[in-house]
Structure 1
Amino acid sequence: MVGGFFKQLFKSKNNNNNKEPQQANEQLQQNLMSSLKDNITHVSKILGNSSDIVIRTANIGPQNNVKLSIIYTEGLVDTQLLQILIDSLIFKVNKNDLQSQNQSNSSLITVLKEKIINVGSITEVRDFSTLTTNILSGHAALLVDQESKAISVSIPGFEKRSIEEPQSATLIKGPRDGFTETVSTNTSLLRRKIKSANLWMEEKEIGTVTKTKVVIAYINGIVNEDVVKEVHKRLDRINIDAILESGYIEELIQDETFTPFPTIYNTERPDAVAGKLLEGRVAILVDGTPFVLVVPSLIVEFFQASEDYYQRSDIATLLRFLRFLCFFIALVAPSLYIAILTYHQEMLPTTLLIEIAAQREGVPFPAFMEALMMEVAFEILREAGVRMPRAVGQTMSIVGALVLGQAAVQAGLVSSAMVIVVALTAIANFCFPSINLAASIRLLRFGMMILAAMFGLVGIIFGLILLCIHVSSLRSFGIPYTTTVAPFIITDQKDVFFRVPWWGMFSRPRLINQKNIIREQNNPTPKPQSRKQ
């Protein structure tokens, strides 16, 4: 019965009543006609006579005997470049141009493209599908009467957000630039970081309706070609109407769907993406979002911050150990509290046990219900703080947590120790550089609490074993998710739990990069030597 429910839930329904979309697709696949009037009518019909589609028709030439039209989308083109284009068409087409066209038997489109138009990148278009896509992407389409092809001039000029420090990954020391929602700006930020001819970028268009631009970036000679082919393969098989954010693609190309752990890394920081490209990874940039995907991804990456590489190695190593400690606190602290108070009171010192027992004397709920209520209350406060306006969101979260915790203790619903455990767990959960991993721990924490309430410490250990088995079974684009730890590669331990000095970071991860392992082939950076005077 359950299987039948899921079959019906994910069953694709093929309706035969999709005549209008089929007719629209047939109209798009048609080639341009020689009649300017027919072409304009057809384009207007495809675009639904939209008010933001501007069509300007004029007669040019010495005797005004050449009729043409310019079609563009208002708000998506640069008005100054558009005026330059119009002026060049009106004032630069002369008798000599028309005579040379007649003598060489070339089309007027070719003459305009080669001699008259001097702005933007120019391409020839022969079908309505490409023509309308270009018009809706910030191009100006030039159609000439008696010509069955058109010119598409790229002059985008839409409003875009300036480059700012990313809010999801702030640093004390490091670059302040972050990706924006414009993919061309994001690719230029990567070019500024990596000024190499081997930084290759390949473009795709995904989404039958949105036609979202997706760019695949990698460094030739360092990247594993099999990973690049796999990325292309997974992107090519996406058949969806819209891609509005990189999260759509992340969910459609990941190796494992039903796992709480993120198997694809995403970030707003250009320096983080540049560093991973130099390790041999592949970046996926999606137009319309500042979050860039990086594959393959390893679990240890979610404990690493960009700032680790901008400060001393000993400080970075200490902070990494602190993040691993916070991982275990956020995962098992409430479940340990439940297990010890419910099954293993002998593990606590007598004085502490008496103090906690005195606090819980008036609490009517068992430890599990006590922890569950506080965790759910904190999750509600956190979600409310995120969704509320920024001016009041943080204040509401802090004041709400303090007031709610104090009131809950005074009302006898929870103990003071439980409030401390939940607060410490919440703070530890904010220590991860990756918000995706923090969300995973929030989900897993409830499962560990249930196991602790049922079986005590045995349940916690059993849950950790299941977690290790699950993580070890995951892969990211064919690479084991726990690479460098399982399988254990001793040469790659210099950037896992420890961050060795830069003079020791002479090689790239071996399983990710099968070639060009050594970063400095000819003259490795020597270890600094102290000088005695």
Structure 2
Amino acid sequence: MNVSWKVKKQESSMTMPLQKDASHTLQQLCELFGNSSDFHSSPIQIGVSHGFLCALTTMAEAQTLVEKLLEPLTAGSAASALSVGTLQQLEQFRQEKLGLLIFAYAKNVQEATDQLLNGDALLIMDGVEQVLCVRIGGIPSRSIEAPKNQKVIRGTQESFTESLDTNISLIRRRIRNPLLRFESFTAGEETKTCISLAYLANAADESIVNEFRSRLTKMRVKAIYDSANVEEIISQNRSWFFPTLLSSERPDTAASELVEGKCAVIVDGSPFVLIGPAVYGNFFQSAGDYYVMPVLAVFMRLLRHASLILSLFLPALYISVIYYHSEMVPTLLLYSISGQEQGSPFTTGVALLVMTLLFELLREAGTRVPSVLGQAVPIAGAIVLGQAAVEAGIVSSILLIVVAATELCGLVVPHYDFSSTVRLIRFGLLFLGAVLGVYGIFIGIALLVIHLVSLQSFGVPYLTPVAPMRPRAHQDMVFRAPLKNEDAP
């Protein structure tokens, strides 16, 4: 009870207006941060006025702090009769000395603390009932690198970083339009993570922007570490499998989606930007489609859709045909399959399930392999284990071909989130095919279509433009229409 009372008392004191005594304000901050080694404060003299300069050395680089703030504040003012004992005098002094720096005024300890944690330096002056917060920055971050997961042969080789300001700059460089808007939010009771909502005012639907704004405002969680946490909270979909937000590490993809009227959510500390609304067809588009000839882009998109179908249904069709519908297989092929299956100690269903799980394990192991080893270990493991299993007579060659073709087709889908969904649904269809044959596969297809039809992404039907049918939207969904000069007749 005593601890709870102290916490409530501290919270109430943090929201009370600041006093004009700079020492009292500094004492409140020192009590709040305790003995933290990165909290630094020092007295400062500006003319005849006394005050304190506070900063977190881990959030504001010391050299930058001296160059941007300390030198302008003390240059020519220590020996003068200058006074900054009121808010008006402090504001006039800021305009003269710090006019180009981003600033804000904090009216209570809570606001001052939030600005301090965001990398600002605090200027606390005697006689002033507000604290001047100046953006310093200067902490080094990861440089802009080439995309690691969404690569293209031709096109930009820049990717988002963990810095929110850098990511906003990458988008702003591609959309030099004053109507490009960025709205700031904060989420996480403990982490106070900064989030930015981006949209193009002349392209985005106001109802969609309001929906994004509402969901971001209503987030109530203790911690946000990555954009994946935000995606899980604001999606609010009825699907356990299909993603309703597109995650991208490419600035050109985010920029093109913003121009088309979508919204982007940028989370500080995450190199992936969330884009929505995202429908089924968006997960088969790649940034490389817009850097090649339209005919080639259409061919690649059709190939991705065909690969998805094979990845989903090939194992289920194989086992259903072997178990229940062998008359559908040509006689010579059936003899070949049955001859290979006779030497295996396991049934076709068990062998298919085991080999599928084994390939999934190898794929998961590939994501854990150190970058020094690359992808050689999982590839070599798949070849060695597959060849050894066939030579030992545990599985047949045709079954290994089916599993390998299935896994290969699953890799063609450009977005990892959607390909992971395909991997999960594949096991369900495999079970239905083993139990009910082709009829079970049709039941699975019906359930899948019903679920997709009922699914929405921020109010937009998931199967748009197929259901509801919008023929004009097909120009950039399955097909990729060629670019045209808008001034041309």
Q: Which interval holds the TM-score relative to the shorter structure?
A: over 0.9
The match for 1:50 is 36
Deviations 1:422-466 (A, max 9, x none): 111111111011111100000000000000000111111111111
1:98 and 2:79 are equivalent in the alignment: no
Letter aligned with residue 75 of structure 2: F
Alignment of 1:493-504 (within 5 A): 493-503=474-484
Q: CA deviation at 1:342?
A: 0.8
Deviations 1:12-63 (A, max 9, x none): xxx99855543442242233222222222210111122101111113342xx
- Partners in 1 of 2:245 and 2:7 — Cα distance? 34
Q: CA deviation at 1:120?
A: 1.9
Residue in structure 2 matching 1:329, options 290, 310, 316: 310
The match for 2:73 is 89
- Partners in 2 of 1:23 and 1:369 — Cα distance? 64
* Partner SS, residue 198 of structure 2: strand
Q: 1:106 to 1:73 in 2, by over 3 A?
A: closer
Contact persistence 1:93–1:116 (CA under 8 A): no
Alignment of 1:456-475 (within 5 A): 456-475=437-456
Letter aligned with residue 415 of structure 1: S
Letter aligned with residue 453 of structure 1: A
Deviations 1:124-170 (A, max 9, x none): 22211111111111111011123322111111111111111111100
Q: CA RMSD in A?
A: 2.0
The match for 2:155 is 174
TM-score, normalising length from structure 1? 0.87
User: How many residues are treated as equivalent by the alignment?
Assistant: 488
The match for 2:275 is 294
Letter aligned with residue 376 of structure 2: T
Contact persistence 2:179–2:200 (CA under 8 A): yes
Residue in structure 2 matching 1:403, options 352, 377, 384: 384
* Partner SS, residue 493 of structure 1: helix
Contact persistence 1:384–1:393 (CA under 8 A): no
Contact persistence 2:262–2:275 (CA under 8 A): yes
The match for 1:254 is 235
Deviations 1:104-131 (A, max 9, x none): x765533432333356212222211111
- Partners in 1 of 2:226 and 2:23 — Cα distance? 38
* Partner SS, residue 288 of structure 1: coil
Deviations 1:213-252 (A, max 9, x none): 1111111121110111111111111111211111111111
- Which ranges in structure 2 are unaligned for 5 or more consecutive residues? none
Contact persistence 1:283–1:292 (CA under 8 A): yes
The match for 1:3 is none
The match for 1:201 is 182
- Partners in 2 of 1:23 and 1:372 — Cα distance? 60
TM-score, normalising length from structure 2? 0.95
Alignment of 1:384-403 (within 5 A): 384-392=365-373, 394-403=375-384
Contact persistence 1:299–1:481 (CA under 8 A): yes
Q: 1:350 to 1:23 in 2, by over 3 A?
A: farther
Q: CA deviation at 1:346?
A: 1.2
1:73 and 2:59 are equivalent in the alignment: no
Alignment of 1:431-510 (within 5 A): 431-503=412-484
- Partners in 1 of 2:153 and 2:165 — Cα distance? 27
Letter aligned with residue 16 of structure 2: Q
- Which ranges in structure 1 are unaligned for 5 or more consecutive residues? 1-14, 507-519, 527-533
Deviations 1:309-343 (A, max 9, x none): 11111111111110011001110111111111111
- Partners in 2 of 1:18 and 1:160 — Cα distance? 38
Residue in structure 1 matching 2:256, options 275, 278, 287: 275
- Partners in 1 of 2:7 and 2:322 — Cα distance? 63
Q: CA deviation at 1:177?
A: 0.9
Using the aligned pairs only, state the percent identity.
35
* Partner SS, residue 134 of structure 1: helix
- Partners in 2 of 1:17 and 1:96 — Cα distance? 48
- Partners in 1 of 2:100 and 2:210 — Cα distance? 36
